[in-house]
Amino acid sequence: MSMLYIGMDGGGTHTTAVAAAPDGHVLSRASGPGLNWLNDGLDACVRRFGHLVSSLLEQVKEREDGSSLTVCAGLAALDGPADPEVLAAFQSVLPPGSRLILESDLSVALAGLTSGKPGLIAVCGTGSMVLCRNNTGRELSAGGWGWKVGDPGSGYMLARKGLFQGLFRLQTEGRETPLLQAALSYFSVPDAQALIPALYATDRDTAALAAFGAEVLRLAEQGDPDAHGILSRQMEQLALLAASLLASTPEAAGCVGLFGGVFQHSELARSLFSEALAARCPGVYPHILQTPPAVGAVILAMQREGRKDIL
């Protein structure tokens, strides 16, 4: 009987997925909306998950009937293995006999980084979180509190801080800063008075608000002092979380990876984070993750099945 693996990286706003052969060769790819049911509801996310699986399987023309299928998904809504109720909901849309593994999105990213060895991954996109693995295989995390509390360095946090600073400068100094001008343009409103109703409109979800974080990044890269200050403070806080994990797991310091939209799209964000981390953990050199987390999910599935010939 042939074998097939499906790996998914289910973020807060976007999901990428791959189907792979046992030798790691990627046979098909698919993408879709996020799989964070804490924001979008479990039923909607299960449907999206099912559609992605179906799309991947339809592309794998050489797949035999009755072939063994293992699906591993890293989900932004999880900080560890899924509980039985959630697992059963996602299992219900898989072909009979399929094996399902649901873990945090950081766990699959870390698997892609270290293939089971000690290491640390800092993910910074719509949200942010840090995860490390020690030499016994135990995983420890920091951050990941979500938009209501705020995740350091995340797109949502950058957006919120940028909006606050722009409005604060206007009302305390009477001037429109580049941050405020960017907000007025981005949210298509004529002035600051119209900005608040636009932000609190019922159809303005957290993902739409977090996307403004890219404007804060752009201004920081261009040298705007307010935006640069926001980014610097946020990267320092995220680095503090990473340093706290490395203090208790020094063996992870040899392999530190970065992933997520903020790190991938901003050299300045990477530099500020790396400098802040090096100030607390000398000799630690983070680098951008090279293996996509969806492929990391395939690696994690192989690890869970006890395979020694992992990619």
Assessment of whether the complete model's pTM goes beyond 0.85? no
235 and 296 together in one domain: no
261 and 280 together in one domain: yes
The single residue listed with the structure tokens 């299992």 is 91
The single-letter code of the amino acid at 136 is T
Inter-residue contact 78 to 11 (CB < 8 Å): no
94 and 192 together in one domain: no
The single-letter code of the amino acid at 154 is S
269 and 296 together in one domain: no
Q: What are phi and psi of 162, to 5 degrees?
A: -65, -40
Nearest Cα to Cα of residue 94 among 53, 135, 133: 53
Nearest Cα to Cα of residue 255 among 137, 122, 144, 124: 122
Residue 145 to residues 157, 185, 196, 265: CA-CA distances in angstroms?
11, 30, 25, 23
The single-letter code of the amino acid at 198 is A
Q: What are phi and psi of 63, to 5 degrees?
A: -65, 130
Task: Describe the crossing of helices 155-173 and 178-186 by its angle, rounded to 10 degrees.
Answer: 120
CATH number for the domain harbouring residue 96: 3.30.420.40
pLDDT tens-place values along the chain, 311 residues long: 468 999 999 987 789 999 999 888 999 999 999 998 988 899 999 999 999 999 999 998 655 555 789 999 999 888 889 999 999 999 999 999 999 999 988 899 999 999 889 999 999 988 899 999 999 989 899 998 888 899 999 999 999 999 999 999 999 999 999 999 999 999 999 999 999 999 999 888 888 899 999 999 999 999 999 999 999 999 999 999 999 999 999 999 999 999 989 999 999 999 999 999 999 999 999 999 999 999 999 999 998 887 765 55
For residue 90, tell me if it sits in a domain.
yes
296 and 267 together in one domain: no
Query: How many domains would you assign to the chain?
Result: 2
